[in-house]
Amino acid sequence: MEDCLAKKMEITVSEAEKRTGRNAMNMQETYTAYLIETRAVESQGEGQCAPMDSLWRRYSEFELLRNYLSVTYPHIVVPPLPEKRADFVWHKLSADNMDPDFVERRRIGLENFLLRVASHPVLCQDKIFYSFLTQEGGWKEMVNETGFQLKADSRLKALNATFRVKNPDKRFTELKHYSDELQSVISHLLRVRARVADRLYGVYKVHGNYGRVFRYAASIDDILEEEEHYADQLKEYLFYAEALRAVCRKHELMQYDLEMAAQDLTSKKQQCEELATGTVRTFSLKGMTSKLFGQETPEQREAKIKVLEEQIQEGEEQLKSKNLEGRDFVKSAWADIERFKEQKNHDLKEALISYAVMQISMCKKGIQVWTNAKECFSKM
């Protein structure tokens, strides 16, 4: 953890800019580009400040980076990106991707993403990540050259594995349930929060009408901004839940693979035995057809046995290495999950605390306003 990139380099996403360009289908589109600034942190205190490097990236490039990281490090809970589209809006916010408030919150979210990756002991060492931060041109090609897309598991395969795996590690099953619960609870909470914020805004707005009659004002806009920040913190963990699920899925896939390989091996061994001893223990089409159409010659049988024995040899080795892989995966995944858990507990606690603090300050403002009002009224 001491060697992670975040300590050696200052990373900020400092600006956002609207741009127009041509997309892959040669149609004009508007998008937002974000300025990433990096500066090496000198271990010698003040005075010498290294020059600032900067380059522009758009959201789709961030997505590409994250996909690459998810595929390349399937045992790591990869930090999530801020939302692509504004969800959980309430009436004051707009759902427009170009809305300046949305862009601003996304900028903060992207910076947060980069910082999280940079502070991760494993992810921060990735070269592609480093070049994302430092190399403007040719980065996309570099990523594609790694061929990571080929390594990606198909969604269908993963779904299949989820249903048919027999012996997944119990901890992963629990984790899967937890991440499902977390997802559902946080999204429910965000939805209700959005409605509550909407109503609260309504209450304050109508109170503002008093101003026309009494000439006193109440300002609430800044309070509602802070509410959004809290919502964003929750959203991050909502998306983290998805990342957790991804790790679980990978485990299920590997486990399923393993089980399939083991099954395959067992059946091959059985076949071999049957051929060698000539007994048909289980019903098989081959057995039936050979009974119907005559036995094979001993040479044919020998050849078959040889092939099978080779396959069994291969299979056993594969199984061994798969087992090893699986165990390694579980070990490293679990280590990262523990790290994630601590991070989550710490972050959520802080988020809840700052939310409470914000509520208190809002109430204090309310007290101030109404104390003033009370004074005014008593002079009526």
Partner 1 sequence: DTSLAEVNSFSPSLPISPSSMINQYKFEDEPELRDLFITVDDPESHITAIETFITYRVVTKTSRGEFDSSEYEVRRRYQDFLWLKSKLEEAHPTLIIPPLPEKFIMKGMVERFNDEFIETRRKALHKFLNRIADHPTLTFNEDFKIFLTAQAWELSSHKKQGPGLLSRMGQTVRAVASSVRGGVKNRPEMFTEMNDYMETFSQKINVLDKIAHRIYKEEREYFNEMKEYGPIHTLWSASEEDIADSLKGVASCIDKCCKATEKRMAGLSENLLPILHEYVLYSEILMGVLKRRDQIQGELDSRIDALSNKKTEKDLFSEEIGKLEDKVECANNALKADWDRWKQNMQYDMRSTFTNVAENNLRYYEE
User: Does position 27 bind partner 1 by CB under 8 A?
Assistant: no
Cβ atoms of 223 and 362 closer than 8 Å: yes
User: Does position 192 bind partner 1 by CB under 8 A?
Assistant: yes
- Choose, by CB under 8 A, the member of 19, 91, 188, 281 that binds partner 1: 188
User: Does position 206 bind partner 1 by CB under 8 A?
Assistant: yes
User: Does position 373 bind partner 1 by CB under 8 A?
Assistant: yes
Q: How many residues contact partner 1, by CB under 8 A?
A: 41
Instruction: Quote the strand ranges of the chain, DSSP E.
Output: 9-22, 28-40, 53-58
**Displacement of CA 280 from its chain's centroid (Å):** 51
Which residue from 223, 202, 157, 168 is spatially nearest to 369, judged by alpha carbons?
Answer: 223
- Choose, by CB under 8 A, the member of 124, 186, 246, 308 that binds partner 1: 186
- Choose, by CB under 8 A, the member of 18, 84, 164, 377 that binds partner 1: 377
User: Does position 140 bind partner 1 by CB under 8 A?
Assistant: no
- Choose, by CB under 8 A, the member of 15, 157, 306, 370 that binds partner 1: 370
C-alpha torsion sign, points 54, 60, 62, 65: negative
- Choose, by CB under 8 A, the member of 33, 55, 158, 189 that binds partner 1: 189
| 167 Cβ contact partners less than 8 Å away, ≥ 6 residues apart | 255, 259
Here's the x/- map for partner 1, 241-270, by CB under 8 A: it reads as ------------------------------
User: Does position 196 bind partner 1 by CB under 8 A?
Assistant: yes
User: Does position 170 bind partner 1 by CB under 8 A?
Assistant: no
Which H or E run contains 218?
A: none
Cβ atoms of 81 and 62 closer than 8 Å: yes
Token reading at 279: 């007994």
- What is the DSSP track for 26-53? S-EEEEEEEEEEEEEPPSS-SS--PPPE
Give the C-alpha separation, 310 to 137, whole Å: 49
Here's the x/- map for partner 1, 313-342, by CB under 8 A: it reads as ----------------------------x-
Which residues sit at the interface with partner 1, rule CB under 8 A?
178, 181-182, 185-186, 188-189, 192-193, 195-196, 198-200, 202-203, 206-207, 209-210, 212-213, 341, 345, 348-349, 352-353, 355-356, 363-364, 366-367, 370-371, 373-374, 377-378, 380
